[in-house]
């Protein structure tokens, strides 16, 4: 990583850190990760090989199934010269009642880093508190910070920068809404979350994001009006209405979110060069129309690919 030799201070600052939410990372630290991701992406596209994690091993605990998270981390650690171990909760003792504290201490003796994708955010916090190696939050019901790193990288590529933009997230005030508020606002983006009453973001997370936004000179707004949110937006973002574990609420949620579909009408309210993002998987005809997600203003597959590059930057920074 010779291109980053001058960033020794930042690399030492991040080495060994956990990555649980973007609330724990400053604007400078997030910018460094984005620059590193862009560098690693450019190197891969040029056919260059960087292996700063040669000999390192990442344990990947999955209590929730995954496509993008598993493949991006598994391929990413391999491309960096290391080894990724897929650890289903059905295959390790954590799924049979072993205390988190014991799992954390045992894995710390075997591995150089842990990525976990699970339900309760408290599980990740307890794992990190008791592990002596970096712990990365691959997703919880409360936060999805790895996805937002890829989102910011995509916006930066499409728009040429981040500061001064407006992002409108339309849909459930879930882990994506939380992480976008915390991350995008620190990077100079005004964020508006449009969600129905009863499905808006957690008030404590919203207040935390607003405090950070005021410090960084941006704004965080929450509304029940998707059209007001979409007006003059540079980025339109949505997610599924019923996330993993909420399948039994599908019909109720379809009724609640009926006016929150991202379609050509909503897209027309945004800026003429607005980009559409979705963390995937997507349900065409529900939260977004095929016309929008498959249209020329959609960058969802560029966004999905950027999970790989963002994850590689994160592992390189934390595990080197």
Give the pLDDT of residue 8: 67
On the question of a cis peptide bond just before residue 137, with omega within 30 degrees of 0, the verdict is no
Query: What is the pLDDT confidence band of residue 33, given thresholds at 50, 70 and 90?
Result: very high
Residue 154: name the closest of 65, 260, 56, 276 by CA. 276
218 is an annotated ligand-binding site residue = no
69 is an annotated ligand-binding site residue = yes
Q: What's the average model confidence in pLDDT over 134-157?
A: 98
17 is an annotated ligand-binding site residue = no
Comparing 242 with 267, the larger pLDDT belongs to 267
Is-contact 176 149, C-beta < 8 A? no
44 is an annotated ligand-binding site residue = no
147 is an annotated ligand-binding site residue = yes
Architecture of domain 3-144+308-319: 3-Layer(aba) Sandwich (3.40)
Which residue, chain included where needed, has tokens 């990525």?
115
Out of 48-62, 92-106, 219-233, least confident range: 92-106
Give the tens place of pLDDT for each residue, 87-121. 998 888 886 789 999 999 999 999 999 999 999 99
Q: Does domain 147-303 have CATH number 3.40.30.10?
A: no
The pLDDT of residue 318 is above 80: yes
24 is an annotated ligand-binding site residue = no
Query: What is the pLDDT confidence band of residue 5, given thresholds at 50, 70 and 90?
Result: very low
Task: Using DSSP bridges, classify how beta strands 57-62 and 83-88 pair: parallel, antiparallel or unpaired.
Answer: parallel
Instruction: Specify the 3-state DSSP secondary structure of 77.
Output: helix
Residue 140: name the closest of 58, 222, 245 by CA. 245
Is-contact 150 306, C-beta < 8 A? yes
Query: Which sequence positions are flagged as catalytic?
Result: 117, 144, 147, 239, 279, 307
Give the pLDDT of residue 3: 47
Give the pLDDT of residue 99: 93
Out of 1-10, 55-64, 218-227, least confident range: 1-10
DSSP state for residue 165 in the 8-state scheme: -
Query: What is the pLDDT confidence band of residue 252, given thresholds at 50, 70 and 90?
Result: very high
281's CB contacts (< 8 A; 6+ apart) are: 67, 240
60, HSE (Cβ side, Cα atoms, 13 Å): 22
User: Residue 263 phi/psi, 5° resolution?
Assistant: -130, -175
67 is an annotated ligand-binding site residue = yes
Comparing 132 with 245, the larger pLDDT belongs to 132
Which residue(s) pair with 194 in the sheet? 170, 223
DSSP H stretches of helix in the chain: 8-14, 27-45, 68-79, 100-110, 121-130, 145-159, 175-184, 203-216, 226-230, 250-256, 264-269, 290-293, 300-319
Q: What's the average model confidence in pLDDT over 112-138?
A: 98
Give the pLDDT of residue 9: 84
| Same fold flag, 3-144+308-319 and 147-303 | yes
- For the chain, domain boundaries: 3-144+308-319, 147-303
Is-contact 145 134, C-beta < 8 A? no
The pLDDT of residue 181 is above 90: yes
223 is an annotated ligand-binding site residue = no
What distance lies between CA 2 and its chain's CA centroid?
A: 27
280 is an annotated ligand-binding site residue = yes
């Amino acid at each position: 990583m010779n291109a980053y030799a001058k960033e020794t201070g930042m690399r030492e600052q991040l080495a060994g850190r956990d990555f649980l939410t973007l609330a724990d990372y400053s604007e400078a630290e997030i910018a460094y990760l984005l620059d590193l991701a862009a560098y690693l992406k450019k190197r891969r596209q040029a056919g260059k090989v960087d292996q700063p994690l040669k000999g390192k091993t990442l344990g990947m605990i999955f209590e929730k199934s995954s496509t993008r998270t598993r493949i991006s981390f598994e391929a990413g650690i391999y491309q960096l010269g290391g080894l990724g171990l897929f650890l289903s909760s059905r295959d390790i003792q954590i799924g049979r009642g072993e205390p988190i504290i014991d799992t954390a201490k045992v894995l710390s003796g075997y591995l150089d880093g842990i990525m976990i994708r699970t339900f309760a955010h408290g599980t990740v916090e307890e794992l990190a508190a008791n592990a002596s190696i970096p712990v990365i939050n691959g997703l919880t019901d409360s936060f999805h910070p790895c996805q937002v790193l890829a989102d910011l990288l995509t916006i930066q590529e499409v728009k040429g920068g981040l500061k001064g933009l407006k992002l409108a997230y339309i849909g459930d005030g879930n882990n994506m809404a939380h992480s976008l508020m915390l991350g995008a606002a620190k990077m100079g983006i005004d964020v508006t979350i449009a969600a129905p009453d009863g499905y808006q973001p957690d008030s404590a997370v919203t207040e935390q994001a607003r405090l950070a936004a005021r410090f960084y000179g941006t704004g965080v707004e929450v509304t029940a009006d998707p059209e007001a949110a979409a007006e003059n937006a540079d980025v339109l973002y949505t997610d599924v209405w019923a996330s993993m574990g909420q399948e039994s609420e599908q019909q109720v949620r379809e009724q609640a979110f009926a006016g929150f579909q991202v379609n050509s009408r909503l897209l027309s309210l945004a800026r003429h060069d607005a980009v559409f993002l979705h963390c995937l998987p997507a349900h065409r005809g529900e939260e977004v129309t095929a016309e929008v997600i498959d249209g020329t203003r959609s960058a969802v597959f560029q966004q999905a690919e950027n999970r790989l590059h963002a994850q590689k930057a994160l592992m390189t920074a934390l595990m080197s």
